[in-house]
A and B are shown apart, each in its own frame.
Chain A
Amino acid sequence: MTGELGQLALCFALALALVMAVSGLMGALRPSGLVARRTATSSAMGLLVFVGLAFGTLTYAFVGSDFSIMAVANNSHTLKPLVYKISGVWGNHEGSMLLWVLVLALYAALVAGLQRGGERLTSGALGVQGLLAAAFLLFILFTSNPFFRLDPAPFEGAGLNPLLQDPGLAMHPPMLYAGYVGLSAAFSYAAAALLVGENGWARAARPFMLIAWIALTCGIALGSWWAYYELGWGGFWGWDPVENASLMPWLIATALLHSALATEKSGAFRTWTLLLAIAGFSLSLIGTFLVRSGVLSSVHAFASDPTRGFFIMVLIALAIGGALALFAWRAPTLQGGAAFDTVSRETALLLNNVFLLAACACVFVGTLYPLVLDAVNGTKISVGPPYYALTFAPIFFALLLLVPFGPRLGWKRGDLKAAWRSLYPALGLAAVAALAVLAIVAPRTLAATGAFAMAGWLIGASFLEIRKRKGARASAFAAVLAHAGLGVTLMGVAGTTAWRSEALTVLASGQMMTVGPYTLRFDGVTREQGPNYIADRAHVALMDGGKVRTMLLPEHRFYPAEGQDMNDTAIHTTGLRDLYLALGDDRGGGRFTLRAYVSPLAPLIWLGGLVMALGGMLSLWGRLRAPAPEQEPAAPAVALAAE
């Protein structure tokens, strides 16, 4: 019964999405369309209810192991722990698309509930949101129905890829989707602004941009953390196309946050911000296509059915093409941007956008060039980390160099000399950081020294700003915190990249190994029974003098239901340094290969991400608490320029 209920809910949801699309657009185009606008609002709520019902039904089927539903039979197993039964809902193509639509409906309901911006603007945003929801619901119902029945139902499910059975990865897709789809709200507002001809959209859409950006930041950090502890190679970012697919929307979303601020506060970059909102969601769609269609070979590629790839491609073409056509048609009718001085915060934000877009272009080409080349003449190539070190890294470095200036320049007209002078202490901190790195740590590398100087520059500037703004409301510290987070992450990246030490040895029980400052003793391997796996668990003692300080237990797991092997690493962290241990091959006679890494500062990578997200949350909190325009102490021109 539950399957049919879910199916029915999806059909109702599709009908409501269509109603919402039509009434929303009508309400936007007709100044007198009050009924249409109300209909759009209530259908947004209805959409959430029905998509939620469908999602709940699927979750119920997963939790209850209802193997008569194909998605459950293919991706679940009775022995799986409850949390992975639930995360299995989105650990497959059909369920993950349903999650996508659920998040879309959630944002639509938020747009309808908050009613930010003018009535017609909100209505138009709901209309576009409805179109998107309808398109994705059609996609689900026709190519990826999660409620497809199996008759006869199998006795047991096929299980879930063990790599996905992990708490970090259980949370990673919902987080990332909240980000991807959050950009749809900015997209819808932008399209509505073009339709209605309203300029206040940037302020109306800002909370959604912020939520999307926070979620993307957390999602990327979670994914990178998972890759670090799960994949056993000690790295945190591999420039894999799948990772790039999430990084590109983040770069654009970051550019959008900055550009929209200028649009909102001083009226600059009106059309440009619209274009960024369209580009951000377009890259989310392209990312989804790349990741889900099976074009890329990875753990994420659920769908290898060509009709699905084709459908998503048509959907992308319609969304991007439609939005760009609307842009070309309506953008010239909008008021031109406000003028600003060459030295001003607007210029700083413009440079921010130029660098972020350039960085995004590098990632875009590096990701798509191999695919294009393969499609054109069948040549198989791959573009690895050295390409990004040569292109992305210097561009991003240049961007970071400019970050501290932005908040110190006034809107319309800034004082570069004063900004520069106020940054002297940060420059001092940068010099100290560079010298400290050169004096204390070996090996000395130019990249690490530069990175630490940069981190000192960013964090120092943030501290200065915090001191200056003492007593201001919490949201005034949002940007400061986000910028400091960049410095923290940079230190983590530089530390692990430059100073990681590695040891690889074959040990018998009782033998010792050393890695970096640590001495380890291998105490043999025991066979353990997990809830749905069998593990070889290595017992490794971290020695402190003659005593055992702590035990590390890396495992090699075998999942019989899935017929798969997986390594589970053990990490001992001091907060500033990780000792990372992976169990390798059984070499016979009780001898095993052990791989150990010491990664200095590794935890800072994700701590920095958290600090950035926290910055975003502060800003969001300020926005939702006080919808009135924010007054910044350093910029008296704001009040004049705002609308």
Chain B
Amino acid sequence: MNAKQKRRLAFAAALLAAGSAVAGVIVYGLGQNTMYFRSPSDVAAKQVDEGVAFRLGGLVEKGSVQHGAGADVHFKVTDGKSTIPADFNGVLPALFREGQGVVATGALDGRGTFVASEVLAKHDEKYMPPEVVEALKRSGRWKEGAQ
């Protein structure tokens, strides 16, 4: 092996090491930080540990929105089959409405209430988050063209 080949080999080895290090970091990062999307039925069916962050999606149940002290808001997220109570402290998005689609990020507390850290509503009246559409389809509450 001449000097040039040696350098090439060292270079390839270094690149391989760097590549595997990056791959390791990525895999570890994904393992630690993925958040599942769950419908209320999923939450009811599967035991979700309290404090584990996930995204909850469904419809805001009609008549469920109540304002508490300060900027506290309580509402219920439903997919027709199951309903999960949710708490949020913050400003609701402009398009948040009873009976409309919503996706919230947060975790369950000890009493089975979903404490939301972030609430997203759909972007416009034609639009429904695809995850919500699918959750509604699975629970049999989706009507094609009903929106």
Task: Report chain B residues within 8 Å CB of A567.
Answer: 94
B8 CB to nearest A CB, Å: 11
Q: Which of A78-86, A103-111, A359-367, A441-449 contacts B (4 or more CB under 8 A)?
A: A359-367
Contact A506 B95 (CB under 8 A): no
Q: Which of B1-57 contact A (CB under 8 A)?
A: 4, 15, 18, 22, 25-26, 28-30, 32-37, 55
Q: Most A CB atoms within 10 A — which of B35, B91, B134?
A: B91
Contact A504 B36 (CB under 8 A): no
Task: Report chain A residues within 8 Å CB of B15.
Answer: 354
**What are the interface flags for B73-110 relative to A under an 8 Å C-beta threshold, 1 for contact and 0 otherwise?**
00000000000000001111111000000000100000
Kindly state the separation between the CA atoms of A390 and B26 in the bound complex, as whole angstroms.
9
A571 CB to nearest B CB, Å: 16
B144 on interface, CB distance cutoff 8 Å: no
Q: Which of A4-12, A51-59, A378-386, A465-473 contacts B (4 or more CB under 8 A)?
A: A378-386
Given the contacts A161-B124, A354-B15, A506-B71, A380 and B22 also touching, CB distance less than 8 Å = no
Given the contacts A362-B29, A395-B22, A506-B71, A382 and B123 also touching, CB distance less than 8 Å = no
Which listed residue, B18, B35, B123, touches A161 by the CB 8 Å rule? B123
Contact A504 B71 (CB under 8 A): yes
Q: Which of A144-152, A581-589, A618-626 contacts B (4 or more CB under 8 A)?
A: A581-589
B70 on interface, CB distance cutoff 8 Å: yes
Contact A390 B28 (CB under 8 A): yes
Which listed residue, B34, B71, B90, B94, touches A383 by the CB 8 Å rule? B34
Q: For chains A and B in complex, what number of residue pairs have CB atoms within 8 angstroms?
A: 105
A508 on interface, CB distance cutoff 8 Å: no
Q: Closest residue of chain B to A342, judged by CB?
A: B7
Task: Report chain A residues within 8 Å CB of B18.
Answer: 354, 358
Task: Report chain B residues within 8 Å CB of A505.
Answer: 70-71
Given the contacts A354-B15, A362-B22, A505-B71, A387 and B29 also touching, CB distance less than 8 Å = yes
Contact B34 A382 (CB under 8 A): yes
Kindly state the separation between the CA atoms of A386 and B33 in the bound complex, as whole angstroms.
6
Contact B123 A299 (CB under 8 A): yes
Q: Which of A515-523, A542-550, A558-566 contacts B (4 or more CB under 8 A)?
A: A558-566
Size bin of chain B's contact surface:
35 or more
A232 on interface, CB distance cutoff 8 Å: yes
Contact B25 A563 (CB under 8 A): no
B40 CB to nearest A CB, Å: 14
Given the contacts A354-B15, A366-B30, A595-B90, A384 and B35 also touching, CB distance less than 8 Å = yes
Kindly state the separation between the CA atoms of A391 and B26 in the bound complex, as whole angstroms.
6
Q: Closest residue of chain B to A585, judged by CB?
A: B92
Contact A381 B91 (CB under 8 A): no
B14 CB to nearest A CB, Å: 9
Contact A379 B25 (CB under 8 A): no
Kindly state the separation between the CA atoms of A584 and B119 in the bound complex, as whole angstroms.
13
**What are the interface flags for A125-136 relative to B under an 8 Å C-beta threshold, 1 for contact and 0 otherwise?**
000000000000
Task: Report chain A residues within 8 Å CB of B131.
Answer: 297, 380
Contact B33 A369 (CB under 8 A): no
Kindly state the separation between the CA atoms of A262 and B55 in the bound complex, as whole angstroms.
46
Contact A386 B91 (CB under 8 A): no
Q: Closest residue of chain A to B31, judged by CB?
A: A387
Can you give 6 contacting A-B residue pairs, CB < 8 Å? A395-B25, A506-B71, A565-B95, A584-B71, A585-B92, A587-B67
What 15 new A-B contacts, CB under 8 Å, besides A381-B37, A390-B28? A358-B22, A362-B26, A370-B34, A380-B37, A381-B36, A382-B55, A384-B105, A387-B30, A390-B29, A391-B25, A562-B124, A565-B94, A566-B94, A585-B67, A593-B71
Among all A-B residue pairs, the 9 with the closest Cβ atoms: A380-B37, A584-B91, A565-B94, A387-B33, A391-B29, A358-B22, A390-B29, A386-B33, A381-B34
